[in-house]
A = this chain, B = another copy of it.
Amino acid sequence: MGRAGLNTERLTRAGAELADEVGFDQVTVSALARRFDVKVASLYSHVKNSQDLRTRIALLALDELAERGAAALAGRAGKDALTAFADVYRDYAREHPGRYAAAQLRLDPETAAASAGVKHARMMRAILRGYDLTEPDETHAVRMLGSVFHGYVSLEMSGGFSHSAPDSGESWARVMDALDALLRNWPAS
């Protein structure tokens, strides 16, 4: 019987697809082996263990998200940049719920420092350049933006806003209005 052509990259990609289909916490080395019609042990040459696999999927998701974010920011500024960037998060989570969940995986500090997570922080600061904030308020604002983006998307994904008026998309738009207004009028200490 021939070889299946496994490698770390393909496993990671397939793991990401699996996550989107069945949920990130259902991503298992066994399920992945099944998907490649290969014995479980075979995967352990390409992936250290289950945690390693999950971490790789998380890093992939962070990368994709950063890439989309960069594309969204190109040529935009101010509120336009703010909403475009926020939409990247929301849309990505809707398109790829498993990957988005993966991006939330707690990474150990070194891994996190080497991840695309740092790019995300830089892009947030780039958005804030369109507003008049100086340190430390810029950092406070970065943290707040991250909280709103992540918090909203996460609550929306877990069904918190569904089946109740007004439509979640409308709230999202109004929250963007509110953030923009807030950043233009950030309260003094």
Contacts and interface: CB of A to CB of B under 8 A. Distances in A.
A189 interface: yes
A166 B106 contact: no
Contacts of A170: 136, 140
- The secondary structure that dominates the A interface is helix
Interface in A99-137: 104, 106, 109, 112, 136-137
Given A148-B147, A151-B148, A163-B109, A140 B174 contact: yes
15 contacts: A112-B159, A136-B165, A136-B166, A137-B174, A139-B166, A139-B171, A140-B174, A143-B152, A143-B161, A146-B151, A146-B155, A150-B155, A154-B154, A174-B189, A181-B185
The 9 A-B pairs at the shortest CB distance, nearest first, are namely A151-B151, A147-B151, A147-B152, A181-B187, A140-B174, A150-B151, A136-B166, A140-B171, A182-B182
